[in-house]
Structure 1
Amino acid sequence: MDVARMLEMCRRDQWRIEDLDWSVTPRALSREDEIAVCQYFTDMSGIELLAGALFEVQRDQARDATLRKIFSTFVVDEERHSRVATLLARHYDVHRYQRYELNPHLVRFQKHFVNAVQHLAPDIANAYITTGELLLDVALLRSLDDYVDDEMSHQAMKLINRDESRHIAVDYHMSEYYASPEYEAWLASRPKKSVLEEARAAWALVGFMYHAQPFFRDVFFRPMELVDPTNRRLIEAFKRIQLLGRKTDHVNRPFTRFLRALQDLFNHPVSGPILGPAISRIMGVDPKVIRVLYDEEEERRARAASFDALAQEALEAKTLS
């Protein structure tokens, strides 16, 4: 990826909330659908702010000046997305059936996730950020837009998705860097952490992983059961995540080995049925997305492809009907 060109694109493709036509009349929704849609957009506003906070951490950790500028534009993007999501929740709140607030699991998870990203190695943080962006962009946003099926949502999601495409392209670029000898050398050059620093990092990871499961369940998986009942987009997003993992599975760091071991145990015919529920709780995701979602040919192509090509394939997955 040409980072200078990406920065130019980030600056060029900025847009304003006022660019959207908020005068359109919302499509008539049933009581249940109106409540669900308003809650999903309310939670989306919090997810976008969480993404913005994570990009702030990445900006502060980046050593390249151009990347820092790119991440700064991402922070602006996510703040704008959050505001748009809040306005969409109000737009569809026609009958005022109830008051909408952020899911409490999202609120608790946000604090622990940002804390973990600040304390853990950058490659671990990037892996989770990339996972979240793929879930949001490939699965949730597109499926929610299709479910609402309304001109106001279509306008907003078109622009938000354009921003998210840039974010995913950079996520894959950072994944390539974190799998490189250059990053390994940088890690080796870092001062050894003190016992206290190691303890803080471990505690941050435990807090994050403990709160991940209820967060993903309430904010991603349950909404997807309604807006994507076939699971095709959810499965597609996790398949992209798994294929990216196979591209980088030569990276031999402790946390990478830990996650790989958990997935292998889950998919083993003997240990899977016994340890599956515990593994799902530790990893924080639904069992259906821990199973292997790709075939041998897809794995072979992923290993041979460039990171840019994998990013492009992930972005093309957004066009699934």
Structure 2
Amino acid sequence: MAMDLDNMLQMIKDKQWSLADIDWEAPGAELIEPDLWAKLKPFIADLMWIENVGARGFAALAKKAPNPTLKSIYEHFHAEEQKHANAELALMRRWGMLENDEIPSPSINVQLVINWLDKYSDGMSLSFLGTVIPMLEVALDGALIKFITDEVKDPIAQEAFKRINSDESRHLAVDFEVMDILGHAKMRKMLIEFVGGWLKPSLLIGVLSYVPLLNKMRDNIVAMGVDEERLYGAMKRYKSVGERNENVRRLPNYRVISWHAMKVINRKSKYHITADLLVKLTGRIPLRLVENKPTWSQELTYEPVA
């Protein structure tokens, strides 16, 4: 049964919240153990920047939306991802991880994806962005956020991520609905877009950024003491969408991304020789050579504005 996008848009509007709804000075910050605190700082800094990656992706999708309702939904999602990043920044400040108005730098792998999105995302097709963004959302929702809610006992973190998780569930519902809509297109049209997209050098650059990011996310999760099966389970969720929906299975980009996801979760695959090598190579790039905080990230603030 097709989703009523008008009803979804109204639900999104009704469920809006702001940082001002949360008491960031409430007790509970002291509940984080020192060992977890040290590991959590780079982890949540990357999570904050990945939220910004999602925001930029939704901004690009809004420009390609086939109707005004979906355009408005994507615009709301863009704003929500920025709000999530600000909430995570506020948590870092609450936990004493930042000095004054400091904005933490992203890891090299996240920075490379930011640079790619900033330069090329507006030129990507709806069929490409509409299948890639859900994979990143699934990984974010199913692994990273789930880890925070399970491991961090601070009640304010629990409240913030409960709100974030609620937003992300609506993002995924719309993501999967759009994949279904895209799958209704004629195969000839989908193949032309698919082949044309993969012939662009910019897409190869994106792949070379995306592959090490996923493997590095896995490394970070394991370093936090979390079973990597959590990330793998999230990726299986993406594949299961196509298993349940014939229209989604028709999408060439879905098939490629789903195939890649299965390679990522199979640690015995030779794919990891290349992926782990890319992690090592990108890890040697000095951040100063690629660091670029784009204008769309300048709305980052820990202030609890409405």
Q: Which residue of 1 aligns with 2:295?
A: none
> How far apart, CA to CA, are the structure 1 residues paired with 2:239 and 2:17?
33
User: Runs of 5+ in structure 1 lacking a partner?
Assistant: 285-321
Q: Deviations over 1:149-183 (max 9, x none)?
A: 211110100111111111001001111011113x6
Q: Does 1:107 align with 2:88?
A: no
- Tell me which residue corresponds to 1:295: none
Pairwise CA distance, 1:281: 6.3
1:132 to 131, 136, 142: 136
Q: 1:95-174 alignment to 2 at 5 Å?
A: 100-174=104-178
Partner of 1:205: 203
* Off by >6 Å, runs of 4+ in structure 1: 260-268, 281-284
In the TM superposition, 1:1-321 aligns within 5 A as 1-25=3-27, 26-93=29-96, 100-181=104-185, 184=187, 202-218=200-216, 220-227=217-224, 229-246=226-243, 247-248=245-246, 250-251=249-250, 253=252, 255=253, 275-277=270-272, 280=275
Q: Structure 2 counterpart of 1:211, which letter? A: S
Q: Which protein, 1 or 2, shows the higher relative CO under an 8 Å CA cutoff with sep ≥ 6?
A: 2
Separation in 1 of the partners of 2:242 and 2:94?
Answer: 39
8 Å contact 1:55–1:75 — kept in the other structure?
Answer: yes
Q: How many residues align?
A: 272
In structure 2, do the counterparts of structure 1 residues 281 and 162 end up closer, same or farther at CA, with 3 Å as the change threshold? same
Contact kept? 1:266, 1:279, Cα under 8 Å: no
Distance 1:166 1:234, change over 3 A: same
Give distance in 2, aligned partners of 1:84 and 1:265.
33
Could you list the runs of 5+ residues in structure 2 that have no partner in the other structure? 280-306
Question: 2: CA distance between counterparts of 1:267 and 1:213?
Answer: 13
| Alignment deviations for residues 234-260 of structure 1 (CA, whole Å, 9 cap, x no partner) | 22211111222444564264x556557
Residue pair 2:56, 2:78 contacting (<8 A) in 1 also: yes
Give the TM-score taking structure 2 as reference length: 0.76
Asked whether the 8 Å contact 2:116–2:205 carries over to 1, the reply is yes
Deviation at 1:108, TM superposition (A): 1.3
- Indicate the RMSD between aligned Cα atoms, in angstroms: 3.6
Once residues 203 and 262 of structure 1 are traced to their aligned partners in structure 2, the CA distance between those partners, rounded to angstroms, is: 19
